[in-house]
């Protein structure tokens, strides 16, 4: 990346920003206000110099144009649920808080699309689509509190990735402000569009480093009328991996397929006893969706497959209440594990499905080698595991071990043919590992795009691309 | 685009190419051989200076590196079924015929992926996947004769786009040679991957202007066990458009939903009488896929919806043979219309589904205004229509009218919120219309990427980006 000397936000800049956004409370300069924008769901705190809350494309374009002219970093931000440091203002500068811009949420049932402004909560899109008999499939676990703008920037995944894909697969078009403050439209309102390069899919998942998304056109699908769920208990984790493969090659494509390891089961049972078998090495939850008769047949067939391959027990929910109950344990994992220790390092290394048993073995070895509190759960059907390490960041010695363990988790994922990040993004924390996955030439092709669009590197600097010599650091910052 | 003076292929270049590919017949310099590479499925002929048939990544990389050093245009090519001029060597130079490189076709059932070399026929991938109980959903009409490399370069669509999306939606990773001859890998073997920019989806659909795809990792899905088909006949085309919308908002997501207009019905009946109603304004074909019971229920429900809205007649196939018979008429459309006149201009303007009736009205007006032989069929479910004009390119006066009609078709699609091209690509013919859809700034962002990756503009020059003042020209070339 080109080395850049950024201008600091001074009273002249504040005056010019206030001319763009006259409403006083939408431009924040006071320390206590700024402090609320210094962290996200990941690690480390960084103070911005200025926070603005734009509520129109014109405002965003004018601020970005000013920032480009004056070479000031711009950090777009939704609800700051990022687990990879996506919105952290690591170089100071201006935070664009887009979470207040949530006015537009239009559903066009005939075209099967939704048009939304960036601050709309993802769960609001789910609800609006459902009211029209439709579904917006991407369902990151944060959907009740995260904005669609953040989901787009990070290309969020979720449990339904297995059957339905990720956020990117449902974005047909964008309105977008370039790093130089130009407003462009990419894609459109149709599923098929091959008019030039696919800027839509380049921008989605670029973590705010290429510009600011100001509107999105999303694809919806008819809502499947019914779901069915089972829970399968396994004495050993390798068998559970085989069951996953067997179900997936039987002609059944589940809508969700989640796994929890023993450490995870223990954490949940310690947090709120739910009758989970603490001696089991793994439990799997499978959901299928579709027409009523089909889902009944399919869930029974999936149950038979699990039993035939050696599940200790299979439990099929027969009512909606029972279904919700089965999913309760999975939903408790996150709160349960943060009760163990205060600092949670949440990873999302993803491997080809066939390598899930091997990845579990590697994670077990890493846990023992570095003596860290490592629990594993995640989206087994698409190979997207969530190894979570819980620690205490005040304990420097422990955090050093966590650093080494995290590094080895990334190495294991890549050695098994997988990726650093399935759905959380790279942000600042994983940047040092990019070359390990992409090679020098691969990373260079990404840099060429970044440099050509944003030659002054004002858009979300410090993310994705490693600084020379940058290493993982969990003991400072 | 940067203006470039290309070096001609001389004996020195041929000698150096032969050092890379010693096998004599895989390097062609003779006029009769070159002539076979001067055209594709679109319009116009352009002679290359040299044709090579690489069969390994090392060969491709070495030739591209040489071409970059010497500033010689490189035109990658599959089976030349392109309808937009994708592989036409409009600046001469070197054609890379990748169609002979078809050795690798590996299916990994546990990972639900296929790994293929660029020359593999798309239908071979369909067959190999099916043998493993799986499906590769993209099904361009050319799949029996087109290569996956061509499909990837153009991001091919097909009838199943409605339910399953297009080629891009099934590409997980690529091996790729950059314009400077570097070999990189993008993406991987997992559905979820957010490690940096999505170069995979940028490259797919970039029409060979960013480099050469040398291997692809494709996503497969469990094969749906059953299909069911109906034919619905409509007295007026607006009603048929309403039926399409009504089916799609009823909770049914058909795997295919095709429409043929009256001119199309006439052409088929003149070609081979099939008992189609020549007084009907439109017929619709609907296919659903999934589990046996579900498809039966769904096809009956779709039939009821068509009848309720005013279809003259609905016919549901009750056997596989009847199903095949219903699809026969649709398959005859292409040969039938080229019997009318020798030159076929095949467009793929795509509009939001709700605009299909309006687009039909616009096309009818264009047909009358310019007195051209315009027939319309296509993938109604996703708004991807195929207005085809049949003419005789020796008749300059007629071709002038065709030029004007084609221009108005593009204008109509964009005015209705659609796109120039749903699945055929831009190539050289549609390049002059890019700015109309994308605006100056949108097109400029694409150019920045092209210029940063390929500063000498050696990869497929003359495509996507219009030359200054370039206009549609169907009377020369």
Same domain, A208 and A236: no
What is the separation of C-alpha A106 from the centre of its chain, rounded to a whole number of angstroms? 24
Residues of B in contact with A188 (CB under 8 A): 352, 417-419
Q: Does B415 touch chain A (CB under 8 A)?
A: no
Write down the pLDDT at residue A460. Answer: 98
Q: Do B110 and A353 touch (CB under 8 A)?
A: yes
Residue ranges of A 297-316 with Cβ closer than 8 A to chain B: 297-298
Residues of A in contact with B155 (CB under 8 A): 194, 198
Q: Does B246 touch chain A (CB under 8 A)?
A: no
- Residue A82 located in a structural domain: no
Q: Do B194 and A249 touch (CB under 8 A)?
A: no
Q: Do A252 and B298 touch (CB under 8 A)?
A: no
Same domain, A325 and A345: no
Q: Does B112 touch chain A (CB under 8 A)?
A: yes
**CATH number for the domain including B275?**
3.30.70.3450
Same domain, A325 and A371: no
- Residue B309 located in a structural domain: yes
- Mean pLDDT, to the nearest integer, of A136-157? 95
* Residue in chain A lying closest to B385 (CA): A192
- C-alpha–C-alpha distance, residues B370 and B342, integer Å: 19
- Residue B370 located in a structural domain: no
Same domain, A236 and A176: no
Report the residue of A210, A445, A452, A464 to disrupt the B interface, i.e. the one with the largest count of B CBs within 10 Å: A445
Residues B164, B129 contacting (CB under 8 angstroms) = no
Residues A407, A390 contacting (CB under 8 angstroms) = no
Q: Do B418 and A453 touch (CB under 8 A)?
A: no
pLDDT, tens digit (0-9, with 9 covering 90-100), for B265-307 = 999 999 988 889 999 999 999 999 988 888 999 999 999 999 9
Residues of B in contact with A161 (CB under 8 A): 191-192
Three-class SS of residue B75? strand
Q: Do B193 and A169 touch (CB under 8 A)?
A: no
Show the 3-state SS of B48-69. CCEEECCCCHHHHHHHHHHHHH
Residue A419 has pLDDT above 70, yes or no: yes
Residues of A in contact with B352 (CB under 8 A): 108, 111, 113, 188-190
- CA-atom Rg of chain A in angstroms: 23
- C-alpha–C-alpha distance, residues A96 and A119, integer Å: 11
Q: Do A442 and B188 touch (CB under 8 A)?
A: no
Same domain, A210 and A265: no
Facing A196 at nearest CB: one of B184, B297, B464: B464
DSSP secondary structure letter of residue B3: -
Residues of A in contact with B424 (CB under 8 A): 194
Q: Does B404 touch chain A (CB under 8 A)?
A: no
Residues of B in contact with A150 (CB under 8 A): none
DSSP per-residue letters across B25-47: GGEE-SHHHHHTTS--SSS----
Q: Do B417 and A443 touch (CB under 8 A)?
A: no
Task: Say which residues have a Cβ less than 8 Å from residue B448's Cβ, sequence separation at least 6.
Answer: A452, A453
Same domain, A282 and A299: yes
Write down the pLDDT at residue A248. Answer: 83
Question: Picking from B51-55, B133-137, B358-362, which range would have the lowest pLDDT averaged per residue?
Answer: B358-362
Facing A452 at nearest CB: one of B109, B222, B448: B448
Residue B95 vs residues A371, B183, B215, B366, B458: alpha-carbon distances, Å = 58, 19, 18, 38, 12
Q: Does A191 touch chain B (CB under 8 A)?
A: yes
**CATH number for the domain including A403?**
3.30.70.2740
- Mean pLDDT, to the nearest integer, of A74-79? 98
Question: Picking from B117-121, B162-166, B292-296, which range would have the lowest pLDDT averaged per residue?
Answer: B292-296
Q: Does B426 touch chain A (CB under 8 A)?
A: yes
Residue A1 has pLDDT above 60, yes or no: no
Residue ranges of A 320-339 with Cβ closer than 8 A to chain B: none
Same domain, A109 and A218: yes
Q: Name the residue among B60, B65, B64, B36 with its Cα closest to residue B48.
A: B36
Facing A169 at nearest CB: one of B162, B169, B204: B169
B176: its two tokens: 């790729």
Q: How many domains does chain B have?
A: 1
Last residue of a domain, one of A311, A334, A357: A334
- Residue A477 located in a structural domain: no
Write down the pLDDT at residue B130. Answer: 95
DSSP secondary structure letter of residue B77: E
- Residue A357 located in a structural domain: yes
> What are the strands of the beta sheet with B384-391, ordered from one edge?
B313-316, B226-234, B282-290, B256-261, B373-379, B384-391, B343-346
Three-class SS of residue B91? coil
Share of residues in chain A with pLDDT > 70 (%): 99
Facing A434 at nearest CB: one of B196, B348, B452: B196
Domain of residue A296, residue span: 225-334
Residues of B in contact with A178 (CB under 8 A): 441, 445
Residues of A in contact with B68 (CB under 8 A): none
* Residue in chain B lying closest to A183 (CA): B441
Residues B229, B286 contacting (CB under 8 angstroms) = yes
Write down the pLDDT at residue A332. Answer: 87
- Residue B267 located in a structural domain: yes
Q: Do B354 and A464 touch (CB under 8 A)?
A: no
- Residue A62 located in a structural domain: no
Facing B196 at nearest CB: one of A168, A197, A438: A438
DSSP secondary structure letter of residue B466: P
Chains A & B: contacts with CB separation below 8 Å = 282
pLDDT, tens digit (0-9, with 9 covering 90-100), for B222-242 = 898 899 999 999 998 889 988
Q: Does A12 touch chain B (CB under 8 A)?
A: no
* Residue in chain B lying closest to A135 (CA): B251
Same domain, A172 and A155: yes
- Residue A360 located in a structural domain: yes
Residues A358, A235 contacting (CB under 8 angstroms) = no
Residue A236 has pLDDT above 70, yes or no: yes
Q: Does B368 touch chain A (CB under 8 A)?
A: no
Same domain, A135 and A209: yes
Same domain, A229 and A203: no
- Mean pLDDT, to the nearest integer, of A295-320? 95
Last residue of a domain, one of A310, A334, A358: A334
Q: Do B184 and A109 touch (CB under 8 A)?
A: no
pLDDT, tens digit (0-9, with 9 covering 90-100), for B38-94 = 999 998 899 999 999 999 999 999 999 999 999 999 999 999 999 999 999 999 999
Report the residue of B228, B382, B435, B445 to disrupt the A interface, i.e. the one with the largest count of A CBs within 10 Å: B445
Q: Do A162 and B191 touch (CB under 8 A)?
A: yes
Confidence of residue B3 (pLDDT cuts 50, 70, 90): low
Q: Do A290 and B293 touch (CB under 8 A)?
A: no
Specify whether the backbone of B196 is left (phi greater than 0), alpha (psi in -120 to 50) or beta: left
**CATH number for the domain including A109?**
3.30.465.10
Q: Do A194 and B205 touch (CB under 8 A)?
A: yes
Same domain, A168 and A201: yes
Same domain, A166 and A249: no
Residue B1 has pLDDT above 60, yes or no: no
- What ranges in B173-233 are assigned the alpha helix state H? 199-203
Show the 3-state SS of chain A. CCCCCCCCCCHHHHHHHHHHCCCHHHEECCHHHHHCCCCCCCCCCCCCCEEECCCCHHHHHHHHHHHHHHCCCEEEECCCCCCCCCCCCCCCCEEEECCCCCCCEEEEHHHCEEEECCCCEHHHHHHHHHHCCEECCCCCCCCCCCEHHHHHHHCCCCCCHHHHCCHHHHEEEEEEECCCCCEEEEECCCCCCCCCCCHHHHHCCCCCCCCEEEEEEEECEECCCEEEEEEEEECCHHHHHHHHHHHHCCCCCCCEEEEEEHHHHHHHHHHCCCCCCCCCCEEEEEEEEECHHHHHHHHHHHHHHHHHHCCCEEEECCCHHHHHHHHHHHHHHHHHHHHHCCEEEECCCECCHHHHHHHHHHHHHHHHHHCCEEEEEEEHHHCEEEEEEEECCCCHHHHHHHHHHHHHHHHHHHHCCCECCCCCCCCCCCHHHHHHHHHHHHHHHHHHHHHHHCCCCCECCCCCCCCCCCCCCCCCC
Residue A326 has pLDDT above 90, yes or no: no
Residues of B in contact with A423 (CB under 8 A): 192, 194
Q: Does B440 touch chain A (CB under 8 A)?
A: no
Predicted ipTM beyond 0.90: yes
- Cα of A195 to nearest chain B Cα, Å: 6
Residue ranges of B 261-280 with Cβ closer than 8 A to chain A: none
- Cα of B5 to nearest chain A Cα, Å: 23
B376-388: string of b/e by CB count within 10 Å (b at 16+)?
A: bbbbbbbbbbbbb
Confidence of residue A3 (pLDDT cuts 50, 70, 90): low
Last residue of a domain, one of A193, A222, A251: A222
Facing A222 at nearest CB: one of B166, B223, B253: B253
Residue B338 has pLDDT above 90, yes or no: no
Q: Does A133 touch chain B (CB under 8 A)?
A: yes
Q: Do A197 and B178 touch (CB under 8 A)?
A: no
Residues B87, B2 contacting (CB under 8 angstroms) = no
pLDDT, tens digit (0-9, with 9 covering 90-100), for B205-216 = 999 999 999 999
């Amino acid at each position: 990346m080109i080395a850049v000397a950024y201008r600091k936000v001074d009273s002249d800049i504040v005056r010019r920003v206030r001319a763009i956004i006259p409403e006083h409370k939408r431009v924040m300069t006071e320390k206590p206000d700024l402090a609320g924008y210094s962290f996200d769901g990941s690690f480390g705190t960084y103070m911005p110099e200025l926070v603005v809350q734009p509520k129109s494309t014109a405002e965003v374009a004018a601020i970005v144009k000013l920032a480009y002219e004056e070479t000031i970093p711009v950090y777009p931000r939704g609800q700051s649920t990022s687990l990879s440091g996506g919105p952290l203002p690591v170089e100071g500068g201006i935070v664009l808080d887009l979470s207040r811009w949530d006015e537009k949420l239009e559903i066009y049932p005939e075209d099967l699309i939704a048009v939304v402004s960036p601050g709309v909560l993802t769960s609001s899109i789910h609800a609006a689509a459902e009211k029209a008999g439709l579904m917006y499939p991407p369902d990151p676990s944060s959907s009740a509190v995260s904005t669609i703008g953040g989901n787009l920037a990070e290309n969020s995944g979720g449990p339904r990735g297995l059957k339905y894909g990720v956020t990117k697969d449902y974005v047909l078009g964008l309105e977008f402000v370039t790093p130089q403050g130009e407003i462009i439209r990419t894609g459109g309102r149709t599923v098929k569009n091959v008019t030039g390069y696919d800027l839509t899919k380049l921008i989605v998942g670029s973590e705010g480093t290429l510009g600011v998304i100001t509107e999105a056109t999303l694809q919806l699908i008819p809502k499947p009328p019914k779901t069915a769920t089972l829970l399968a208990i396994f004495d050993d984790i390798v068998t559970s991996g085989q069951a996953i493969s067997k179900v997936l090659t039987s002609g059944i494509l589940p809508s969700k397929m989640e796994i929890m390891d023993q450490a995870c089961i223990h954490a949940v049972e310690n947090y709120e006893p739910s009758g989970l078998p603490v001696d089991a090495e793994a439990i799997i939850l499978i959901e299928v969706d579709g027409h009523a008769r089909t889902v009944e047949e399919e869930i029974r067939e999936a149950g038979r497959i699990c039993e035939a391959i050696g599940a200790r027990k299979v439990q099929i929910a027969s009512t909606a209440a029972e279904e919700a109950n089965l999913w309760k344990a999975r939903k408790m994992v996150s709160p349960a594990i943060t009760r163990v220790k205060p600092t949670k390092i949440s990873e999302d290394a993803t491997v080809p499905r066939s390598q899930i048993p091997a990845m579990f073995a590697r994670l077990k070895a890493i846990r023992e080698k570095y003596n860290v509190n490592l629990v594993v759960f995640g989206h087994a059907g698409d190979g997207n595991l969530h190894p979570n390490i819980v620690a205490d960041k005040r304990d420097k010695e422990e955090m050093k071990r966590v650093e080494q363990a995290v590094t080895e988790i990334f190495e294991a994922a890549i050695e098994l043919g997988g990726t650093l990040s399935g759905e959380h993004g790279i942000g600042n924390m994983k940047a040092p590992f990019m070359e390990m996955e992409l090679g020098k030439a691969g990373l260079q092709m990404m840099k060429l795009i970044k440099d050509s669009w944003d030659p002054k590197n004002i858009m979300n600097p410090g993310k994705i691309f490693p600084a020379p010599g940058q290493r993982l650091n969990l003991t400072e910052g």
